[in-house]
Chains A and B, each alone.
Chain A
Amino acid sequence: MEFSVESWAPEYGSSLNLPSVEDTGDRADATVERALDEWAPIDPAPARSPGEIAFIDGIQRIDARIWIHENGISTPAVCVSVAAGATVCAPGTATTEGVRVARALIAPASSTAGPIGTRHATYEFVPAQDGTPEATYLAIHGRRTELEVGVARSVSCGLIVFDGPLRGYNDPQSVGYIKTHHKVYLPNAVQPILGDLADGQRTPLFFLSGGQARGRWSWYLRLPGPRVHPMSGIVRLELPGTGTAAEAVERAGHVSACLPYFASEPHKEPRAPQNLYPISGIERELRRRLGDALLLERALRIAAGHAT
C-alpha cells in the first residue's frame, strides 16, 4: 500500500460539527415513577457505602491525515489512536485499571488500505462506510466504544459508570453518565423542575424508548457546585431498560447518592462539576498512554517513505 502523510498538522480540518451520538429520536415516558403533576425534586437517599465503583472513559486522537495512492487515485484517510480505561474507586484508593490502547487506520471500505506498521505502533485497518468526515468519525467512535466495552467486561464492580450514554450496552451493573445535553427529554410541563433541583437532588425517573432495543431508565441529577445558570451541574443518567420500575427507582437512588462525592471543582477541572474527578484522572492517564503525537507522526512519515 502506497501512502503519504498530509503535511498539515493533523488538527486542521478536524473541527467539524459531528452528529450527536445521542439518539435524539427517542420518546420519553415521564410517568414511570410519578404522575406528571406530582413531579418534584427528590432528596438523595441516605448515603450508603458505595463499595467499588468503576468509571470508564475513552479518548481518541488523530495522529495523522494520510493519502492512500492507488492507480493514480488518492483517497483520504486518517490514522488515529484510541484508548479506554477505568478508574476503580474504593474507599481510600483510586487505581487505573484495564487500560487499552488501539491504533487504527480509518479508510473507506472500498479502498485497498491495509495495516500500516511503524517503528512504534501498527495502525490496524478499520473500514469506514465512505470517505465523508461523518463516516470517519463514526468508525473512530465505533472502535472506541469497542474498547470501552472491553474494559467494562474486564472490571468487576457493583457499579460501572460510563462516560456517555449506554449505547445499547446492557450489563445490569452499568450506568450511563451524560454531561452534555443536546436535548431535554422532559415534557415542557415539568422542565422547570430542573432549575429547582438543589445539590444532590434528582428528578423522578422517566423511560426512554425507541432507537435502541429495550430502552433505558433515565433521570436528571444536580451535582454540587456553583450555579451560574439553571442547567449548571445537571447531568443525565441512564440505566439499562431491564427490570421493573421499582427496581430502577431503587438503583437510581443509590447511584444518585454515590456520584456527588466525585464531583470536581472549577479550579481543578474546567468542566466542573460534571467531569468527575475519576473521569478527569483517567482521561489524563489515557492521554499519556496514547504516546507522543509528534513521535507517532514522525514514525508514520518514515513508514510512508518506506512503503511500497
Chain B
Amino acid sequence: MGRVLGTDDATPLEFWVAVANGQHLQLDDIVALDRSLPTGEVVSIYGIVGQVRARHEGARFDSDVFLIADGVLPADVAEAAQIQVTRVVPETFVPPLPGAEVRRAVDEERDEALDMTDVEHRLPAGLTRDGQPVVLDLEFIDGTKGAHVNISGISGVATKTSYATFLLYSLFNSGVLGAAATNTKGLIFNVKGEDLLFLDHANTRLDDTERARYAALGLEAGPFRSMRVLAPPRKGDPNATPATGARTADVKPLYWTVAQFCEQGLLPFLFADAEDERQQYTIVVQSVTAQLQRCAMQSHTSDGAVRIDGRTARTFSQLVTIICDKLLPDDPDEDADPQWTGRSIYTGTINAFVRRLSSAERHVAHLIRADIDDAETHAIDLDSQQVTVVDLHMLHDRAKRFVVGVVLRQAFEAKEAAGTAEPLQFVVLDELNKYAPRDSSSPIKEILLDVAERGRSLGMILIGAQQTASEVERRVVSNSAIRVVGRLDAAEAGREQYGFLPAVQRQRATILKPGSMFVSQPRLPVPVLLEFPFPAWATRVAEADLSGGRSDQPADPFDGLT
C-alpha cells in the first residue's frame, strides 16, 4: 500500500504512511507492517487509518495550485495516511521504521489487528464499513473482566436504543451465552414513543441485504422471541387496563398496591432529591416511610389496602390525605405526631414535604392503588419472559423516575437475594442524564450507582444511554467497559467525557450517519467505527408483522369465499 514516511515522527502509537502511486487508503482501513529487531525478533504492528491527507509537493503558495493545474508549474501529489496503532505483537513497543512497507490487513491479519483471534466468548457487535464482522469479548460485558455498556449520541439517528436492542438480540441469539441464554433476562425501559413495544414482531421492512448482514455476523434475522410489556394503567380506569396504545397482546398492568408501597418503603422514590442531605424535609420522608412500613406490617389486609390508626387507605389519594392529617393536625394548637414528623419541628419543613407529596399525587395516583380485585396476586414479575419492556412513555417525569427507581430496586434486590451472577440480568435504560444526573443526588441515582458499581459481581448489567455523557454521573459512565458514541453535537464532542476518542474521531462523531458509531472496548486502544444491521424487529407499529410470523394464515381470510 505504501511506506512509513520519515518526515513526520513515527511512534509506537501513531505514525504516517505515504500511500504508493495507484493505491489508496481510506479512513478505517486496517493495515499491518513488520519490523525486525536486532535480536532477530519480528514485531508486527497493526493499526487503523485515522486520517488521510493529500497535498502538492513543490508548491509554496496556495495559489500555486492554479499554475499546477494549468500545467505551468511542476508538482507532485502526495497522499498520506495517519495510522493509529491498535496492537503490537509481541509487545515490544518500538516505532515502525521510515521506509517500512505497509500492507492492508485482511482475513486473519485483520482479526489479529482488531485483537479478535483469541477471544473465547465472541459477541457479534457490528460490522466495519467494509461489511466485515467485529466481535466483542463477552468477558468485558458479563462481569468477568468488566461490565456495562454506555451509549452516547443525539436522538433521532438510530444509535442509542437501536444499538442497545441490537446488542441484547445478539447476546440472546448468537449463542455466546451458551445454555445460560434461555434464562438470561432483559429489562428494557421504553421512555419514548412506542418504539420498543413491538420487539417480538418481525420487521416488514427488513430486506435481503440486511438479512445478509445479520448472516455475516452469524445471527439469524428475526424478532425477539419471548417478551412481555408492563404498562401503567389508564388514568381513571377502575379496572387498571394497561395504557399501551397500539399493542394489546401480552401486556400486563404496572402498578403497586398501597400495601406494597408502604411495606417496601417506596415513598422516597417520589422525591427526586430525597437523599440530598441539605434538604431538611428528607427527615420527614424517612420518618413517614418508617411509619408506613410499621402500619403495613400490622394491618395485613387481603386486598392490598393499608389501615393506619383506624383509617383505611385504598387509593394513593387516601394515603396522602392520611399522611397529611398526621403531619398537619386540624387543630393548630395540637402538635403533630413526632413519630411521623421525625425530629423536624418546623412547620415550614413539614409543609415542604406535604407540598411535594401532593404535587406527586396526580402523577402517580394510578400507579399505587388497592382498588383492583386481584390486587394481591398482582406482582411485578420480571422473570416470566426473556425480555420485559416497561413502558414509561405515557408517564410524567416524576412517575417515570418513580417507576424506574422502584423496578430497578426490585430487580437489584432480587439479584442480591439470588446470590449468583448467573443467569445475567440486562437492563436497558435511556436518558441516564435524567436518572443519574451529574450534580444531584436521589434514590434512583443511588440505585443506578449500585448497579454500576456492584452490578458487575451480582450479574446485573446496565446498558445505559444518554444524549450527553457530560450530564451523567461520572461513576456510572466510567464503570462501563464498553463505550459507544453515535453522532454527537459539536460542543458535546469536545468535552472531556469523550477523552477516549482521538481528535479525528471526535470530529467525525459530529457527522456520523445513522446506524454507525464508534465502539471503544478495553482490548483495543482505538475506538472502531461500527455499523449494525437494520433492526429485524419492528421499531414502530407500522413496521410490525402483526400476523405473528405465522405464514399459514392467508393474507385475506375471506379469500376463496363466494
Q: Which residues of A are in contact with B by a Cβ distance under 8 Å?
A: 87, 89-96, 261-262, 267-268, 277-278, 280-282, 284-285
- Shortest distance between the CB of A84 and any CB in chain B (Å): 14
The reply to whether B61 and A284 form a contact with Cβ atoms under 8 Å apart is no
The reply to whether A92 and B75 form a contact with Cβ atoms under 8 Å apart is no
Residues of chain B from 52 to 84 with CB closer than 8 A to chain A in the complex: 58, 60-61, 63-64, 67-76
The reply to whether B58 and A92 form a contact with Cβ atoms under 8 Å apart is no
Give the contact-size bracket for chain B: 10 to 19
Among B67, B69, B74, contact of A285 (Cβ-Cβ < 8 Å): B74
14 CB < 8 A contacts A-B = A92-B70, A92-B71, A94-B68, A94-B71, A94-B75, A277-B67, A277-B72, A278-B72, A278-B73, A278-B74, A280-B73, A281-B73, A284-B58, A284-B60
Query: How many contacts between A and B, using CB within 8 angstroms?
Result: 43
Main secondary structure of the interface of B (DSSP, over half): loop
The reply to whether B71 and A281 form a contact with Cβ atoms under 8 Å apart is no
| Bound CA–CA A94/B65 (angstroms) | 12
Contacts of A285 in B (CB 8 A): 58, 74
| Bound CA–CA A268/B74 (angstroms) | 14
- Shortest distance between the CB of B74 and any CB in chain A (Å): 4
Q: Which of B72, B74, B76 has the most CB of A within 10 A?
A: B74
Q: Which residues of B are in contact with A by a Cβ distance under 8 Å?
A: 58, 60-61, 63-64, 67-76
The reply to whether A89 and B61 form a contact with Cβ atoms under 8 Å apart is no
Among A91, A261, A267, A281, contact of B74 (Cβ-Cβ < 8 Å): A281
Closest residue of chain B to A85 (Cβ to Cβ) is B74
Contacts of A92 in B (CB 8 A): 69-71
Contacts of B73 in A (CB 8 A): 94, 277-278, 280-281
Contacts of B74 in A (CB 8 A): 87, 94-96, 278, 281-282, 285
The reply to whether A93 and B61 form a contact with Cβ atoms under 8 Å apart is no
- Shortest distance between the CB of B321 and any CB in chain A (Å): 87
Contacts of B60 in A (CB 8 A): 268, 284
- Shortest distance between the CB of A72 and any CB in chain B (Å): 44
Contacts of B58 in A (CB 8 A): 281, 284-285
Contacts A94-B68, A96-B74, A282-B74 known; 12 new A-B pairs at CB < 8 A:
A89-B71, A89-B72, A92-B69, A94-B67, A94-B71, A94-B72, A94-B73, A96-B76, A278-B72, A280-B73, A281-B73, A285-B74
| Bound CA–CA A267/B64 (angstroms) | 11
Contacts of A268 in B (CB 8 A): 60-61, 63-64
- Shortest distance between the CB of B91 and any CB in chain A (Å): 33
Contacts of A91 in B (CB 8 A): 71
| Bound CA–CA A277/B65 (angstroms) | 12
Closest residue of chain B to A276 (Cβ to Cβ) is B72
| Bound CA–CA A262/B71 (angstroms) | 9
Closest residue of chain A to B70 (Cβ to Cβ) is A92
| Bound CA–CA A89/B68 (angstroms) | 10
Contacts of B67 in A (CB 8 A): 94, 277
Contacts of A89 in B (CB 8 A): 71-72
- Shortest distance between the CB of B77 and any CB in chain A (Å): 11
- Shortest distance between the CB of B159 and any CB in chain A (Å): 45
| Bound CA–CA A285/B67 (angstroms) | 16
Contacts of A267 in B (CB 8 A): 61
With known contacts A284-B58, A285-B58, A261–B64 Cβ distance under 8 A: no
| Bound CA–CA A87/B68 (angstroms) | 12
- Shortest distance between the CB of A286 and any CB in chain B (Å): 11
